[in-house]
Amino acid sequence: MDAIAAQLLRDQFLLTALELHTELLEGGRELPRLRDFFSNPGNFERQSGTPPAGGPLGGLGGSVFGGAGGREPGSGQLNRAGSISTLDSLDFARYSDDGNRETDERVAVLEFELRKAKETIQALRANLTQAAENEVPLQERKNYKSSPEIQEPIRPLEKRALNFLVNEFLLKNSYKLTSITFSDENHDQDFELWDDVGLNIPKPPDLLQLYRDFGNHHVAARDMVDVSVGIEDDELEAATPILGTVPVFETTPQSIEQCLIVQKLEDQISVLNSEKWSLMEQIQRLESEIDFLKNENFAVSTVYGVAPHPSLKQVPLTVSEDNGRYLDIRSSENDNKHGNNEETKLSLSAEVDSRTSKDDTLNSVPCKETEKLSSCAPSTKAAVHFDKPNRKLSPAFHQALLSFCRMSADSRLGSEVSRIADSEKSVMLMLGRCLPHIVPNVLLAKREELIPLILCTACLHPEPKERDQLLHILFNLIKRPDDEQRQMILTGCVAFARHVGPTRVEAELLPQCWEQINHKYPERRLLVAESCGALAPYLPKEIRSSLVLSMLQQMLMEDKADLVREAVIKSLGIIMGYIDDPDKYQQGFELLLSALGDPSERVVSATHQVFLPAYAAWTTELGNLQFHLIPTLLNKIEKLLREGEHGLDEHKLHMYLSALQSLIPSLFALVLQNAPFTSKAKLQGEIPQIEVTRFPRPVSPLQDVAIIIGSREQLAVLLQLYDYQLEHEGTTGWETLLWVVNQLLPQLIEIVGKINVASTACVHEFSRFFWRLCRTFGKIFTNTKVKPQFQEILRLSEENIDSTAGNGVLTKATVPIYATGVLTCYIQEEDRKLLVGFLEDVMTMLSLSHAALDSLKASFVELGANPAYHELLLTVLWYGVVHTSALVRCTAARMFELLVKGVHETLVAQRVVPALITLSSDPEISVRIATIPAFGTIMETVTQRELLERVKMQLASFLEDPQYQDQHSLHTEIIKTFGRVGPNAEPRFRDEFVIPHLHKLALVNNQQSVDSKRLDIATHLFEAYSALSCCFISEDLMVNHFLPGLKCLRIDMEHLSPEHEVILSSMIKECEQKVENKTVQEPQGSMSIAASLVSEDTKTKFLNKMGQLTTSGAMLANVFQRKK
């Protein structure tokens, strides 16, 4: 049936063939030949066959409008046009019975299709194959063959094909500019489409493949043709009488002449196709004979010998570049699909003829018989034999039977599948060819599964360019790799580096990193940063300290992503662990300062965890830790303090001081390693255990002293000898420790004395630094070396009390830092007693010398943040409560205010309130007044009803007792306290106690005869009313107390401070309007004055005036606070 179909197609009986195809489909049988023919649009754009009779017009109708069977348009059948893609795509709607409209539309369509056909003819004429070329005359060709030194001139087709291959080579090897110039010089050729070179011409391999394959061919004395077209040149010339006389047309020939020329060419192609069919039949017979010989187990050398089959003499033996054990012999067969060739390849290889299931191999052939093949290698595999069937079927029948096993070796993938590699080299070459085609078709989420395959191939592939391509694929495998995927890629890179060595890592992996250093996706830049650190141990040391360091420096300075800079810092830390070029020390220090000053907390944290400890280790080896790194940081701190008299840069101070703190473990390790007893430290006998709390918790394993030393056992032995040396033998000859004692500690204590004691952040930073320093160097060192130096500076004795100026050093930050950074390092009973005694002495001396209490307050604030010290601080204050000096008792009363906010209510009830009640009945009025702020703070923070009532009664006694009527300082303190705590106090306390008493104080102040006292009270009342105006005030309270109080205050301000009077008048006016509108607009809960009392204009005036007044900042800070 297939032969009948082939005959119908060959004779151009297309309608009959279509009918046969339809009937077979309906019967459930389908011929591949017919299916492929009728599904190919190209078969219907022009028809090949015998020229139809009818002259030029008939030729035109047959070639341009060639419909089914080549009928003319007037035959009543539907017209086929070149623009119609398949038989199934006919638009029957165009041929409806609409009369003239049908004709008009049909004419328009045919005109369009005629234009398209003419364009197609023009393109065909320009792109004709060898048959359409201006052939060199036969005699001239023979002259070229007889005289090899005379080169045959290049043909246009050959020139176009070579141009295409050259341009392809330029693009593949990144000669893009050269390729552009080359394309411009050949403007008449489309380099993006091989079909532009010629019709029905298979694309040859690229130039590189042709060059590599050149050595596998022997140049014959005569031209060789493909085995599928094994005819002589003379025969071809004789069989094509028309082509030799075809004239070359100019660019604008007449349409009919074009059609005639094309028709003649098509006729010639038909003749060639017929000859090709006869040759294919001959090839099939030869294949049957080959199969028969294989079945008879003949030797391969006999099968391909010269005598039995002379027709195979011209078959070129092409050896695969992959492996010497393959040999491919390629033949071709033709399915007559519109004249296209379909090449079939016969393989003489380790597995011959992969298209058949009878895979008798050549491994059974002795290698000496095949040594003639240039790339044959001795086979190490045993011969493979297959059972032969005991049948008498003819070889032709076997071949025909096996043809139903549909296989394909014509495509790239089919070619790879048909050859089985049997050596490492051939496997690597195959993977190198296949992986670039596999990767794009794998899901992104699963591409990491390809990493082992890519890396293995990149390691073992012999071609540098292929390796580069594979590594490029690796780094571009995933568009935005997540953390786990990056770890997998890094693991692969490290494995690659271990396998190939530093030279190839530098030449092959680093360029991939450099290419992506500015990639738009941060995940890819993150991969680059992490790769630099992971590959550092496997790079040449010169590259480590130059190129890689420069790459990381660039990324640290330029990259905007915090995660990328964090990874850069970690990689820099790893580089610092391997670098050994002392000239790079200063560059490393500059990178350290840049990293410490980074705005991202993540980057700074990574610096302390990785970069700084690694850099410190290198600095220690260079001997620069004590003589450059630490002194430089201290000098920078001193410079900051000198320049910061009017405004200290606390951020930079924190940056330098935190760096010093992170260097303490490295410094202590250096002290141990350079101690006089280091040579005695041996791991013998029972090794002492290190207490869990011996060292502060390290922020990173790299700051663990045990890891810096080498092991916990070695550290334990050194610590035992260290404590013994300090306790019994001292520091004689111990240069590193002497530097700490004689240079580092004095400089630190001097710096501490320059700090502004009011800067809570600075005090806290230095306190943490000294605490970590003392805990790291140990208790003996702290007691014998650190405390004496502080005590010498502070000189705590009553003999040093200066009643006029006070002891200057006690007012500095030295006191809180010594108390909270040194005395709190150890918490045994004797240590706590020492701390209590120190605070009592400081409180006593500051009180007796009338000095500022800032240093004592800073100590209480720092210690009060830790609940463990609340009892201790209350003990210190009780010492002040019962002290004989009123000055000390007054100081104690003021210190309670700082302590109340952080202390639990139980302690407030049991320890604080009784002490304050005791002080409130003190004989000295100044002591009683000093308790008022503490009472106010209790009203602000405590919620126990009984406790609040006790405090309320005590404050009421201060206000209502006749003995306090003329106590101006007491009234001032109460008003200030009311203004501070009123907005945050309990509403009931505010409404029933604070606002009414403020009203009374305002009334009394109207009667004050001393203007200075009257103005002082009025100013504090103004601040208090300003703060309370932010609270919700009921209508009754507003009418009865708040408004009358404001009016009394306005009377005072009219005489003493007119600028205040303007603001007060606005407040009073708004309050009165609010009261008048109460019947219409009900209050809506607690609201600020901005919403309920003051209009926008009044609020603006109020704030402007407030900004002009010199009122207390602490008082105004509470104006806009809400109760928590």
Report the range out of 574-578, 914-918, 1081-1085 with the highest average pLDDT: 574-578
155: in domain: no
Tell me the β-bridge partners of 347.
Answer: 328
pLDDT band at 405 (very low <50, low <70, confident <90, very high): confident
294: in domain: no
CA dihedral 282, 283, 284, 285 (to 10 degrees): 50
Question: Taking a C-beta distance cutoff of 8 angstroms, is the pair 62, 47 a contact?
Answer: yes
Domain identity same for 826 and 683: yes
Asked if the model's pLDDT at residue 911 lies above 70, the reply is yes
pLDDT at 1043: 83
Asked if the model's pLDDT at residue 882 lies above 70, the reply is yes
pLDDT band at 964 (very low <50, low <70, confident <90, very high): confident
pLDDT at 378: 40
Which range is least confidently modeled, 318-327, 854-863, 952-961? 318-327
Domain identity same for 854 and 877: no
Residue range 80-130, pLDDT digits in tens = 444 444 444 444 444 444 445 556 667 777 777 777 776 766 566 555 555
Asked if the model's pLDDT at residue 811 lies above 90, the reply is no
Q: Could you give the CA distance from residue 1075 to residue 1068 in angstroms, rounded to a whole number? A: 11
900: in domain: yes
220: in domain: no
Domain identity same for 799 and 889: no
Give the residue from 504, 573, 559, 499 showing the smallest Cα distance to 527. 559
505: in domain: no
pLDDT at 781: 93
Domain boundary among 865, 894, 915: 865
pLDDT at 558: 92
Give the residue from 1091, 1124, 1123, 1089 showing the smallest Cα distance to 1106. 1089
Asked if the model's pLDDT at residue 773 lies above 90, the reply is yes
480: in domain: no
Mean pLDDT of 502-517: 90
Mean pLDDT of 359-378: 37
Domain identity same for 107 and 45: yes
CA dihedral 532, 537, 543, 547 (to 10 degrees): 20
Domain identity same for 28 and 96: yes
Residue range 408-460, pLDDT digits in tens = 666 777 666 666 666 777 777 888 888 888 888 888 778 888 888 888 888 88
Report the range out of 366-375, 686-695, 733-742 with the highest average pLDDT: 733-742
Integer-rounded Cα Rg, in Å, for the chain is: 50
Any idea what the Cα angle at residue 154 is, between residues 152 and 156, rounded to 5°? 145
Burial 1060-1096 (b: 16+ CB within 10 A, else e): bbebbbbbbebbeebeeeeeeeeeeeeebbbebbbee
- Please report, rounded to a whole number, the percentage of residues in the chain having pLDDT higher than 90: 22
pLDDT band at 946 (very low <50, low <70, confident <90, very high): confident
Bridge pairing between strands 328-337 and 340-347: antiparallel
959: in domain: no
Question: Taking a C-beta distance cutoff of 8 angstroms, is the pair 597, 655 a contact?
Answer: yes
Which range is least confidently modeled, 214-223, 408-417, 473-482, 1054-1063? 214-223
pLDDT at 748: 94
1055: in domain: yes
Asked if the model's pLDDT at residue 1084 lies above 80, the reply is no
Domain identity same for 769 and 832: yes
pLDDT at 552: 93
Asked if the model's pLDDT at residue 1114 lies above 90, the reply is no
pLDDT at 1006: 81
Q: How far is CA 500 from CA 455, 463, 497, 546, 579, in A?
A: 11, 14, 5, 21, 21
Q: Could you give the CA distance from residue 283 to residue 1022 in angstroms, rounded to a whole number? A: 116
Give the long-range contacts of residues 264-271, CB within 8 A, separation 24 or more.
264/51, 265/128, 265/131, 265/132, 266/46, 266/47, 266/48, 266/49, 266/63, 267/50, 267/51, 267/242, 268/131, 268/240, 268/242, 268/243, 269/48, 269/131, 269/339, 270/48, 270/49, 270/50, 271/239, 271/240
Which range is least confidently modeled, 508-512, 846-850, 1113-1117? 1113-1117
Asked if the model's pLDDT at residue 1045 lies above 60, the reply is yes
Query: By three-state DSSP, how is residue 730 classified?
Result: coil
Domain assignment of residue 1021, given as a range: 966-1124
Domain identity same for 692 and 726: yes
Mean pLDDT of 901-919: 85
Give the residue from 612, 611, 633, 719 showing the smallest Cα distance to 671. 719
Domain identity same for 848 and 880: no
Asked if the model's pLDDT at residue 138 lies above 70, the reply is no
Report the range out of 25-39, 652-666, 804-818 with the highest average pLDDT: 652-666
Asked if the model's pLDDT at residue 307 lies above 80, the reply is no
Question: Taking a C-beta distance cutoff of 8 angstroms, is the pair 353, 420 a contact?
Answer: no
Phi and psi based region of residue 54 (left: phi greater than 0; alpha: psi -120 to 50; beta: remaining): left
Q: How many helices (H) and strands (E) does the chain have?
A: 57, 2
Question: Taking a C-beta distance cutoff of 8 angstroms, is the pair 234, 138 a contact?
Answer: yes
pLDDT at 556: 93
pLDDT at 524: 92
Domain identity same for 982 and 907: no
Asked if the model's pLDDT at residue 207 lies above 80, the reply is yes
Q: Could you give the CA distance from residue 684 to residue 701 in angstroms, rounded to a whole number? A: 26
Domain boundary among 126, 157, 180: 126
Residue range 965-1016, pLDDT digits in tens = 777 888 888 888 888 888 888 888 888 888 888 888 888 888 877 878 888 8
Domain boundary among 92, 126, 160: 126
Domain identity same for 878 and 798: no
Burial 557-566 (b: 16+ CB within 10 A, else e): eebebbbbbb
Q: State in Å, rounded, how far the first CA of the chain is from the last one.
A: 97
Q: Could you give the CA distance from residue 380 to residue 323 in angstroms, rounded to a whole number? A: 13
Q: Which residues contact 272 (CB under 8 A, 6 or more apart)?
A: 131, 239, 240
pLDDT band at 593 (very low <50, low <70, confident <90, very high): very high
Question: Taking a C-beta distance cutoff of 8 angstroms, is the pair 794, 815 a contact?
Answer: yes
Mean pLDDT of 507-533: 91
Mean pLDDT of 164-190: 86
Mean pLDDT of 1070-1093: 56
Regarding predicted confidence, which is higher, 297 or 942? Answer: 942
Residue range 631-684, pLDDT digits in tens = 999 999 999 888 876 677 888 889 999 999 999 999 999 999 998 888 877 776
Give the residue from 960, 900, 968 showing the smallest Cα distance to 931. 900
Domain identity same for 1019 and 910: no
Regarding predicted confidence, which is higher, 260 or 752? Answer: 752
Domain identity same for 1037 and 948: no
Regarding predicted confidence, which is higher, 731 or 546? Answer: 546
Max CA-CA distance within the chain?
145
Q: Could you give the CA distance from residue 1001 to residue 1018 in angstroms, rounded to a whole number? A: 9
Asked if the model's pLDDT at residue 576 lies above 60, the reply is yes
Q: Which residues contact 179 (CB under 8 A, 6 or more apart)?
A: 167, 170, 171
Mean pLDDT of 194-214: 78
**What is the total count of domains within the chain?**
4
